[in-house]
């Protein structure tokens, strides 16, 4: 084979391989809501893959339902107006990183959730329903983290810097770390309540972790 043609062919194959590893940028377009697994709900029209960047950010009030395993590189949930909801009714979701932004709501009803999850101020992450769930993600909550039912096993980590809302019959294990929101650190020393002395029945570490 002509050496010049061989070189060109090798460069084309290399460029194609490099492009494929970066994945696609997919934007949810069905503001009436629908299934994650339906290609027509996305632009471009394809089901999200492991290397893709996913944006559920278009304005409006709608739900995106995940009922099967889903792995993506990056996920952004939450748009300008309305409420954009990701409803995880089954399956394992494994985003590399997931950001729930203002107006975004992630409803975790069943299955497992991994990766790195950031819940921003103005966003909500809800754990609900009686089915057992596993949260293996590294979670930082600066918005609202709500639990309203069922058993949740935390095998990753949960750093709470926002609102932690516990309601109903919930079993939570192991314990989690809680930090006061950043705004509270700006108070003057005289505005802060005096710390409670630790007791043998309630060690200081128990109330904070």
Q: pLDDT tens digit string along 31-61?
A: 999 999 999 999 999 999 999 999 999 999 9
Strand partners, 160: 141, 178
pLDDT at 18 over 50: no
Helix runs in the chain, H state only: 3-22, 204-208
pLDDT at 198 over 50: no
Find the angle CA(145)-CA(63)-CA(170) to the nearest 5 degrees: 30
Q: How many domains are contained in the chain?
A: 1
Q: What is the mean pLDDT of the chain?
A: 79
Considering the domain boundaries, does residue 162 fall inside one? yes
- Domain span at residue 92 reads 11-180
Integer Cα distance of 100 and 97 in angstroms: 10
Considering the domain boundaries, does residue 70 fall inside one? yes
Considering the domain boundaries, does residue 206 fall inside one? no
Considering the domain boundaries, does residue 45 fall inside one? yes
Beta strand 163-166 with 53-56 is unpaired
Considering the domain boundaries, does residue 39 fall inside one? yes
Considering the domain boundaries, does residue 42 fall inside one? yes
Considering the domain boundaries, does residue 208 fall inside one? no
Other C-beta atoms within 10 Å of 102: how many? 13
Q: What percent of the chain has pLDDT over 70?
A: 70
Confidence of residue 19 (pLDDT cuts 50, 70, 90): very low
CB 52 within 8 Å of CB 22: no
Starting at the earlier edge strand, list the strands of the sheet with 124-127.
34-35, 62-66, 84-88, 104-108, 124-127, 144-147, 163-166
Half-sphere exposure of residue 190: CA atoms within 13 angstroms, side-chain side: 0
Confidence of residue 1 (pLDDT cuts 50, 70, 90): low
Considering the domain boundaries, does residue 6 fall inside one? no
């Amino acid at each position: 084979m002509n050496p010049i043609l061989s070189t060109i062919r090798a460069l084309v194959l290399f460029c194609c391989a490099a492009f494929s590893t970066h994945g696609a940028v997919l934007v949810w377009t069905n503001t009436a809501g629908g299934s994650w697994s339906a290609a027509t709900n996305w632009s471009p029209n394809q089901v999200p893959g492991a290397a893709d960047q996913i944006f559920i950010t278009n304005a409006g009030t709608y739900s995106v339902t995940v009922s099967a395993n889903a792995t993506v590189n990056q996920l952004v949930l939450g748009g300008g107006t309305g409420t954009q909801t990701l409803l995880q009714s089954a399956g394992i979701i494994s985003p590399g990183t997931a950001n729930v932004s203002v107006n975004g709501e992630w409803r975790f009803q069943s299955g497992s959730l991994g990766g790195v999850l950031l819940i921003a101020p103005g966003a909500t992450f809800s754990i609900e329903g009686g089915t057992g769930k596993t949260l293996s993600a590294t979670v930082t909550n600066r918005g609202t983290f709500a639990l309203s039912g069922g058993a949740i096993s935390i095998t990753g980590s949960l750093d709470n810097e926002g609102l932690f809302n516990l309601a109903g019959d919930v079993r939570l294990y192991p314990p989690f770390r809680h930090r006061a929101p950043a705004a509270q650190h700006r108070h003057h020393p005289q505005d802060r309540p005096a710390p409670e002395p630790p007791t043998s029945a309630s060690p200081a570490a128990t109330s904070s972790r």
